[in-house]
Amino acid sequence: MTNANSNNPPRTHQIRGVAFGLTVIRLLYFLYVGFSGVVLHAAVARVPGAADGGAFNDWSHDEFQFVFRFENAVTPPGRKSSTKSTVYLYVPVAAKKLRALLLLQENVVEQMISVHPAIRRVCDAQEVAIAWCTPGFDMVFKDHAEELHAIIQRQFREFGRSIGYPELGDIPLITFGHSNTTAYAQIAAEARPDRVLAVIATHGWNGVNSLNHYRGPVLMDVGTFWEQKQQTLGNGSNKGVASLAEVQKRLQRGWLPVSIVEEYGSGHFDYSEPVVGCIALFIDKAIRARLAPDGTLKDLNPDDGWIALLPEFPTGPVAIRRYAEASSEQRASCPWYFDREMAEAAVNRLSLIQEHAMILRAVDTRCCSTLASERVRCGRSCGPTCIWTKRSLTRCFARARRRTRTSERCRSGRRSSSN
């Protein structure tokens, strides 16, 4: 028996009708979802406390009024550079004349930082424009830093003239970098210190030891761990402590206004609200301290600032002190902050005490105290001799997790010294 439908032609008109109907349904669905999102977005803007810096994050003012194409004819295109980049520009609505430009490229968090309410509020108050460049035109500024500065000035100046802000290409820069782009943030400052007002380098290369010509403020937020290794046993080094060592090396060669914000447990992509608040506060302080009424950059006076006295062994609170009242040893080993407010905000985020408390809860406290005492008694490196050394706190307390073998080694060393 043959199939009765085998000789019938395919009913393409019916199939097309069904497909058209599904398309209409999908269109109506997306219109509904989009309209709901607009309504929800508008409702968020009306939440009490959102606009006045309350706990709720107001993302309703994340627009960029202007956009233009930036062309990089200097750096060859590659994984960390691009010949063409789209620049999204935000200008404070009430600003009649711009005072500075927060210049961000694109790696991971730059877009979030450029639209964050805390950052927008301080930029509005200080008449600072924000430019987010995607993709990044040169994330490292390795070989052509001065030429890139010239391109930035020329193209931003030309676009600024077209929108009524001719000063856009000549106002000083605040460079921001995350991971790879921390190289851009620091090398750009070293190449043209007259053009860079402040440097913000987060979760990446700590290059302060290579800063010789740039004498302006630097904010370092390195983070404790690489996020990719947070859940593995191979995560044996504390990036924040290692970063402090680089800061000390630079301070021993001469004073540099390096501020540190740290948060225990933060990974490579983590930015808590308090940390972003510290970044916004740093921008505000930098503008007030460095920018003269005529737009030129002023040098900082170290005696006007405060330092955080990081303890040798993190068993107590991190104290702060006026730089003018500190000893020469403290000045050569402690991060500097604009004023007491900035120092207190940063100290609240420093990880040393939190790290110590967390590790003490995770391991045998008796063994930890034994390690500290044995270090004094037998002179062996069972505990950290200084937080600046390569033997980081994390590696020290990793020994505490293997307490039996470590304690035995301490006892053996003590017996050997007594013999």
| 206 or 169, greater pLDDT | 169
User: What pLDDT band is residue 339 in, cutting at 50, 70 and 90?
Assistant: very high
Residue 80: pLDDT over 60:
yes
User: What pLDDT band is residue 100 in, cutting at 50, 70 and 90?
Assistant: very high
* Share of residues in the chain with pLDDT > 70 (%): 62
Q: What is the mean pLDDT of the chain?
A: 74
CA 333, chain centre distance (Å): 22
Cα(238)–Cα(252) distance, integer angstroms: 22
Residue 417: pLDDT over 60:
no
pLDDT at 42: 35
pLDDT at 160: 96
Residue 278: pLDDT over 60:
yes
Domain 66-353 has CATH 3.40.50.1820: yes
Residue 144: pLDDT over 80:
yes
What are the boundaries of each domain within the chain?
66-353, 364-418
Neighbours of 219 (CB within 10 A): 28
pLDDT at 108: 85
Residue 209: pLDDT over 70:
yes
pLDDT at 28: 58
Strand bridging mode 306-309 / 319-322: antiparallel
User: What pLDDT band is residue 102 in, cutting at 50, 70 and 90?
Assistant: very high
pLDDT at 302: 96
Residue 8: pLDDT over 60:
no
* Share of residues in the chain with pLDDT > 90 (%): 43
pLDDT at 88: 96
Q: Point out the least confidently predicted range of 261-275, 306-320, 401-415.
A: 401-415
Residue 298: pLDDT over 90:
yes
Average pLDDT over residues 345-357: 63
In the sheet with 218-221, reading across from the earlier edge strand, the strands are 66-71, 84-90, 128-134, 100-104, 173-178, 196-202, 218-221, 258-260
Average pLDDT over residues 309-336: 82
Cα(329)–Cα(318) distance, integer angstroms: 16
Q: Read off the tokens for 292.
A: 């003269």
pLDDT at 19: 56
Long-range residue pairs from 38-42, CB within 8 A, at least 24 positions apart, any chain: none
Average pLDDT over residues 177-197: 93
Average pLDDT over residues 363-380: 39
